[in-house]
Structures are given as structure tokens and as C-alpha cells.
């Protein structure tokens, strides 16, 4: 369209976000100031405004009478596969002009290409989320933990900002499954996961490690603070009103600043979990050097 300003917009509550742009620095436009809101009302056509100063809808618009001083606008709606208008692809110019049919068709074709790209991105994000999420409990899965654990350990070695690793196991879960069945066991796993997710700090990382075992990474936390946090979480589970049988968890934790190898850190946290279980369960065991 040979215009100096072009953008792809996505609708928000009170504004249009500019997700791609050329010739403009701002990142959003208020809906009440936007030309695009009118283009979105005609989803089957490209809206062309040859001269905004002669159009009663825009002649007093702030983008026309001040600031950038736009005169020309053309916009094609972005329509998702469900038929919803989610934004526009549009161009502006500082001088009046017209578009020929070829240019109008090109703008419509571009809008379809933008939708295709956005849908591919959406599918990619969904696949990524699925690959990182435990299907039963909805929390992070083992793969997500492995990536996070490696990143946190590398950061600890690079910056000196340590973290605490905690392994969590549901006590007597096998007998619970044997007594009440796998469906009840699955529900118990989901409820324990939900309790930890709800009561953990928003910057901690919680994941299902496997079976009835979960893991929690507490960044920027020393052992004493982590122990207090985990004790609170343990009591949340112990004091929860369970329908079939009271459930508790055992927890083992170790701090990264005591280890040079992440495998050893994981092994020691597991040893602390084993210690908590052999010493009576429903408790937290903390690794500490003499």
C-alpha cells in the first residue's frame, strides 16, 4: 500500500495492542481513538478512509488534528477460525490517497496470513503447555521440572543465588489405592497437588515428580526459611478435611549451596525424604552439614 505506518492490532478491554508495527513507536492505541474499531465492524470488507479530515468519524480524532496528523487509513479485520474479530491489519499515511482493487485484495490476503500465523503460534503454545503439564493433576510435569532444575542449578553456580529442593511423598498411598481404588487415588493426587499449588509462594516451582511423589523448588531461599515454608505446607495437607481417609505427606529437603553437582543434590533430598518416612512419616527432614 506504500504507506509509512503499518500495524497489526489485537483487541483488549479498552485498547488495541500493537503486536507488530512499522513507523510507529507506541505499543497500544485507545479504542476510543482508534480507526480500527470501525474497520472491525465491517468484517467482510477493507475499510478505506481516503482523507480523515473529511470524514465526520475521524475529523476531530487526536491522531488526525494533532500528534502524527494522519490523513489516510485502510484496515482489514482479523477474523479467527471461530468467526470472532480479534483485531486488524492496517496502514496509515500523512497524506490523502486511495487504494486500488489490487491493493485492497493484498491487504485482505495479508489479514488471512496474519491469522494463520497467530493460529500456528497458539497451537505451538498449547503443545508446549501440554508437554510441560501433568495430565492428571494439571501441575508441572517431570519434564518441566528437569528443565527448571537444570536452569536453577546453573543460575546458582553462575550468580551464587542458591535455592532449596524439596521432595514430597504422600504417606501410605499404596494402601490408600488398594483400599479405595485407583479413581480415588487419582483424586487424592489431584487434591494434594492443588493444595500445594494453592499454598506455595507464587515464585516457587511445584511439579509432579512421578507416582505419588512431588517436588518443589524454592528459589532464593535458605534452609531455615524453606523448612518453615514446607512445614506450613505439610500441615495444610494434614489438616485438610479428607473424605475417605486422612492423608499426610513426608518431605525431604536440601539446599543447593551445599553441593557442586545437581544429581547429588537430588539424591540427598531423596535421602532426606526416606529419613522422614522411616522416622514416622508426616514430617520434614532437612539435610545439614555438621
Q: What is the pLDDT of residues 118-139, one digit of tens each?
A: 888 887 787 777 789 999 999 9
Multiple choice CATH, 142-286, 2.160.10.10, 3.30.2320.80, 3.30.70.270, 3.50.50.60: 3.30.70.270
Query: At 289, is the pLDDT very low, low, confident or very high (cuts 50, 70, 90)?
Result: low
CA dist., res. 163 & res. 141, Å (int): 19
Q: What is the pLDDT of residues 190-235, one digit of tens each?
A: 999 999 999 998 889 999 999 999 999 999 899 999 999 999 999 9
For the chain, the domains span 5-131, 142-286
CA dist., res. 178 & res. 180, Å (int): 6
Q: What is the pLDDT of residues 17-65, one digit of tens each?
A: 999 999 999 899 888 889 999 999 988 889 999 999 999 999 999 999 9
**Which of the residues 212, 231, 241, 267 is marked catalytic?**
212
5-131 with 142-286: one CATH topology? no
Burial class (CB in 10 A: 0-12, 13-18, 19+), 44: exposed
Bridge partners (DSSP) listed for residue 163? 219
- Cβ neighbors of 242 (< 8 A, separation 6 or more) are 188, 191
CA dist., res. 165 & res. 261, Å (int): 13
Pairing state between β 5-11 and 15-22: antiparallel
Q: What is the pLDDT of residues 82-93, one digit of tens each?
A: 889 999 999 999
Taking the whole predicted model, whether its pTM rises above 0.85 is answered as no
Average pLDDT on 137-146 reads: 94
The pLDDT assigned to 272 comes to: 97
User: 119 catalytic, yes or no?
Assistant: no
CATH of domain 5-131: 3.30.450.40
Amino acid at each position: 500500500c506504500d504507506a509509512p505506518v503499518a500495524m497489526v492490532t489485537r483487541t483488549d478491554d479498552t485498547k488495541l495492542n500493537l503486536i507488530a508495527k512499522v513507523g510507529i513507536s507506541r505499543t497500544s492505541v485507545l479504542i476510543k481513538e482508534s480507526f480500527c474499531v470501525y474497520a472491525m465492524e465491517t468484517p467482510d470488507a477493507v475499510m478505506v478512509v481516503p482523507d480523515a479530515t473529511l470524514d465526520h468519524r475521524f475529523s476531530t480524532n487526536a491522531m488526525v488534528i494533532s500528534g502524527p496528523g494522519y490523513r489516510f487509513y485502510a484496515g482489514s479485520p482479523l477474523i479467527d477460525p471461530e468467526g470472532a474479530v480479534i483485531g486488524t491489519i492496517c496502514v496509515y499515511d500523512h497524506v490523502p490517497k486511495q487504494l486500488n482493487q489490487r491493493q485492497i485484495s493484498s491487504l485482505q490476503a495479508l489479514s488471512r496470513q496474519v491469522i494463520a500465523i497467530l493460529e500456528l503460534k497458539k497451537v505451538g503454545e498449547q503443545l508446549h503447555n501440554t508437554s510441560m503439564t501433568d495430565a492428571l493433576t494439571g501441575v508441572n510435569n517431570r519434564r518441566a521440572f528437569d528443565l527448571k532444575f537444570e536452569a536453577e542449578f546453573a543460575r546458582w553456580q553462575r550468580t551464587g543465588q542458591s535455592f532449596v529442593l524439596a521432595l514430597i511423598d504422600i504417606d501410605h498411598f499404596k494402601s490408600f489405592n488398594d483400599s479405595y481404588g485407583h479413581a480415588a487415588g487419582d483424586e487424592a493426587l489431584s487434591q494434594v497437588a492443588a493444595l500445594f499449588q494453592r499454598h506455595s509462594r507464587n515464585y516457587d516451582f511445584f511439579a509432579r515428580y512421578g507416582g505419588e511423589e512431588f517436588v518443589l523448588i524454592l528459589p532464593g531461599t535458605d534452609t531455615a526459611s524453606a523448612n518453615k515454608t514446607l512445614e506450613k505446607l505439610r500441615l495444610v495437607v494434614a489438616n485438610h478435611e479428607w473424605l475417605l481417609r486422612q492423608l499426610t505427606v513426608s518431605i525431604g529437603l536440601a539446599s543447593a549451596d551445599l553441593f557442586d553437582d545437581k544429581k547429588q543434590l537430588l539424591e540427598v533430598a531423596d535421602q532426606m525424604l526416606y529419613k522422614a518416612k522411616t522416622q514416622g512419616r508426616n514430617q520434614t527432614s532437612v539435610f545439614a552439614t555438621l
